Structure 1
Amino acid sequence: MTHRATQLSVPQHLPELDGLRAVAAVGIIVTHVSFQTGIGWGITERFDYFVAVFFALSAFLLWRRRGLHAPGEYFFSRVARLAPAYLACVCVVLALLPEAHTASPGQVLSNLTATQIYVKDGLAPGLTHLWSLCVEFSFYLVLPLLAWALAGRTRGQRIAVLVTAGILSLGWAFLPFVADYDSDQVNSQIWPPAYTLWFVVGMVAAECEGHLPRWARKVFSWRWLWWLLAAGCVSLASREWFGPRGLVHPEPQEFAQRIVVGAVFGMCVVVPVALVPRETSLYAHPFVLGLGRWSYSLFLWHVAVLSLVFPLAGIPLFSGQVADFVLVLVLTVAGSVVVAAVSYVLIEAPGRRWIFQARQRRRAQPQQEIRVPRIRAAGPGRAGQHRACDSHEPSGQGGGGDGGPTHDGPGTQPGDKALPAQ
C-alpha cells in the first residue's frame, strides 16, 4: 500500500484525541497551580510533562495527513486555526492584567509575534506559558520541509531518520552557546531543537498507524498499564537527584534526561489512544470532548485566570498550604473553562470562519475579462463574415483572480476564450 493510500485509509478524525487534549490542558493547570501555591510536591510540578503530550499529539495529527494539502493551504489553515485566539489572549492580558502593565515594548512585540523565547526577558506576566507555543509554531513551520525531505523514502527509512534526529537532539543542551547560559542572557535551552524528541514520538506513531501487528495492538490496548508507566515517569522525574524543580536552570545532562523521560511519558499517554482508538471511553465522553474542543483557549487563558484567583480568593502566593492548592486549583479550572468557552464561541471559532470566508470571497470576485471574438466558419453567403461572441459577462465562479480555473458563466458561448484583463 502506498503512503498516500495509507493516509486516505486511516480515520480522518479520532474523537478520543480531542478528549486527551482536555486531559493535557488540565494537567498543565495542575503544575502551574502547584508551583504558585508552593506546596512543594515534586509529582504535581512534573505534570509539566503534559507539554510533551501536546507536542506528540500535534506531531501525530499533522504528520499522518501530510502531503494531502499544498503548503499554502496548510499554512493558511494553521494561521486561521491559531492566530485569532492567540492574538486576542495576548492583547487582552497585556491590556487588562495588572501585573502585565509592566511589560516592556520588547515583550509586547515578541509576544504578539510569538518570538518571546528568542529575546532576552521576552516572557511577559500572564503569558509566560506561551513559550511552548513558540516551540510548537516552529514545528508547524518546518513540517512541510520535513515532509519534502523524506518524500519517496520507505516507512522504515523515515522512522530511522526521525528516531536518529530525536536522539541527536539530546545534544542540544550540551552545545557551548546553550550550556554557557547566564541569567542575563536568552535561554536557548528551550529553543525548538531541544524538544525534537517529543515531536518525534508523535511522528513515529503516525508512521506506525495501520501497520501494527496484532500483538502490538493488544499491548497498546492495555491503557491502564501505560498510565502506570506514565505515572512512573512522573515519579522518577520528581526526585531531587533527578534534577532541579521549579525555575532552577538545569545542567545539560539534567535537561537531556528530562527530555528523555518526557518523551517516554508522552508515548505512554498518546500512543495507546492514537493507535488503538475506541468508540467509547472516558476520553470520548461528551463533557470531556467539549473541554477538548476548548482546550486551546483553555491553555491560552489559564495563567491569567490563575493570576486573578489569588487576590480574589485572598490567598497569598507560595503559601505552602494544601487547602490553598485545592481551592486555587478548583477556582482556576472552573474560571478557565468558562473563559475558554467564551473565547471559543466569540473569538476562536468565528475568527477561523471569518478568515476562511474572507478568502472564499476574494476567490469568488470575478476578474475583469476581455473576450476574444469567435470566428465562425464561412458558409454560403457568409464568407469572410465575423461574429462576436454573444456575451461578454465575466465568469461568475472560479479562481481567475488567483490563478485558478475559469468556469463558464451565464451567456458564455461554447468555444469562447477569455483572457484576464492586463
Structure 2
Amino acid sequence: MTHRKTGPTARRLPYMPGLDGLRGIAVLAVIAYHSALPWSDGGFLGVEVFFVLSGYLITALLMLDIQVEGRIRFRHFWLRRARRLLPALWLLLLILPAAARVLAPETLPRLREDTLAALAYVLNWVYIFREVPYFEHFGRPPLLQHLWSLAIEEQFYLIWPLLVAFAASRGRGQSQNRLLALTLGLAFLSVGWRWLLYQPYEDTARVYYGTDTRAAGLLFGAALALLWPPRRNRSRLAASARFAAEVIGWSGFFVLLGLFARCQGYLPALYRGGFVVTDVATLAVLLAASRTDTSLGR
C-alpha cells in the first residue's frame, strides 16, 4: 500500500473514454426526466449513476496517491476538487439571483437561504429539514434544487479520504482488504438504513436527499475501484474474458436504459432494491467501459 513509483504516468489515472460516454448518457437521462420527455420516468436515476462513477474515480485517485506517494495528500486532493467544482458553482450563484430578481422575485427569500446552504454543501440536509419534495411540487420548485446531489458528493469528498487514510494506516499488509470490508460494510449499512427509513406512500425527502441513505452508490463504486483498479485495465484480456466483460457490460447498459425509461420515484420498489439494481447495473457497465479493448470502452 505504501510502495512508491516514479515517472509521470504513475501519477495519474489512465484516460478511460468509455466513462465519458457513461457520463453523457446519465446527463441525457436527467435532462430528459426534467423535460418530461416520453420514456424518461426514471431519468432521475442518472444521478445515481454519477454517484457510482464518482465513488469509483475518487477512490482510484486516492489509492493511486497512496501507491505513488505513500500517503494521501489531503491538501492536494481537496484543492483539486475545489478547482474543478467551485468556479462553475460560484458563477451560478452570482448569476442566478440577478435573473431571479427579474423573472421570479417571489423566490428571492428562499434563494438567499439556499445559496448559503449550497456554498456550505449542506443543501440536501436543508431540503430534508424543510421537507422539500423531489417528485411533487405545488408551484415553482427551488431554483437550486439540482445542487442537492453536489452537496452529497462534496460531503463524500471531505470524509472518504480520511477513512481511506485511516484504513490504509492500520496494518500495512492487510490494509486494502480491511478497506474493502469497510467499504462494503458501509454500503450495505446505507442500503439497510434506507430500507428502514422508507415509509411507502409518504414523503420521500428524508430517504431521497439523505447522505446516509444515498451513500451506497458512492461506496459500491469505491468497492469496484478497490477490487478492479484502473491500472488493471492496461493489460489486454483473453478472448473469453473479454467476451464475458462485453456480456456483463451490455447487460448492465440495457438494464439502465430500462430503469431510465420505466422506473418511477414514488414506487416502493425503488427504495427497497431499485437503487441497488441501478448501482449493480452501473458497476457492470463500468467494468467494461473502463477498458479500451471492449466496445463500451472505445
Residue in structure 2 matched with residue 219 of structure 1 by the alignment: 244
Q: How many residues align?
A: 263
Q: By how many angstroms is 1:48 displaced?
A: 1.6
What does residue 118 of structure 2 align with? 111
Q: Which has the greater radius of gyration?
A: 1
Given the alignment of the two structures, is residue 270 of structure 1 paired with residue 286 of structure 2, yes or no?
yes
**Distance between the aligned counterparts of 1:268 and 1:47, measured in 2?**
19
Correspondences of 1:154-193 after superposition (within 5 Å): 154-174=175-195, 187=206, 189-193=208-212
Task: Assess if the C-alpha contact under 8 Å between 2:114 and 2:144 holds in 1.
Answer: no
User: Match for residue 144 of structure 1?
Assistant: 161
Q: How does 1:10-409 map to 2 (within 5 A)?
A: 11-34=13-36, 41=38, 43-66=39-62, 68=65, 69-97=72-100, 98-99=103-104, 101-103=106-108, 104=110, 105-119=112-126, 120-121=129-130, 125-151=142-168, 152=172, 153-174=174-195, 187=206, 189-207=208-226, 208-209=228-229, 210=231, 214=238, 216-222=241-247, 223-234=249-260, 238=263, 245-246=264-265, 248=266, 254-274=270-290, 276-278=291-293
Instruction: For 1:159 and 1:4, locate their aligned partners in 2 and report how far apart those are by CA, in whole Å.
Output: 21
5+ residue gaps, structure 1, are 239-244, 285-422
- Describe the SS at the equivalent of 1:277: coil
What is the aligned-residue RMSD (CA, Å)?
3.5
Provide the identity percentage.
25
Deviations 1:97-136 (A, max 9, x none): 4236513232232233332222244976332111111111
Q: Deviations over 1:58-99 (max 9, x none)?
A: 111111121525101111111111011012113312320423
C-alpha distance in 2, partners of 1:114/1:84? 14
Gaps of 5+ in 2: 66-71, 133-140
The two structures have a TM-score, normalised by structure 1, of 0.53
Q: Distance in 1 between matches of 2:80 and 2:242?
A: 32
What amino acid sits opposite 1:264 in the alignment?
Answer: V
Higher relative contact order (CA 8 A, sep 6+): 2
TM-score, normalised to structure 2, is: 0.73
Is 2:187–2:216's contact at 8 Å kept on the other side of the alignment? yes
Give the distance between the partners of 1:115 and 1:197, measured in 2 at CA: 18
Q: Could you tell me whether the CA contact under 8 Å between 1:27 and 1:48 is conserved in 2?
A: yes
When residues 10 and 154 of structure 1 are mapped into structure 2, their CA distance, relative to the original with a 3 A threshold, is farther
Q: Residue 83 of structure 2 aligns to which amino acid in structure 1?
A: A
Q: Describe the superposition over 1:260-294 as per-residue Cα deviations: whole angstroms up to 9, x where unpaired.
A: 122123223323212x2349x6876xxxxxxxxxx
**Structure number having the greater helix percentage:** 2
The answer (yes or no) to whether the contact 1:53–1:266 under 8 Å persists in 2 is yes
Structure 1 pair 134/200, CA: closer, same or farther in 2 (3 Å)?
A: same
Q: Does the 8 A contact of 1:49 with 1:266 survive in 2?
A: no
Change (3 A) 1:73 1:182: same
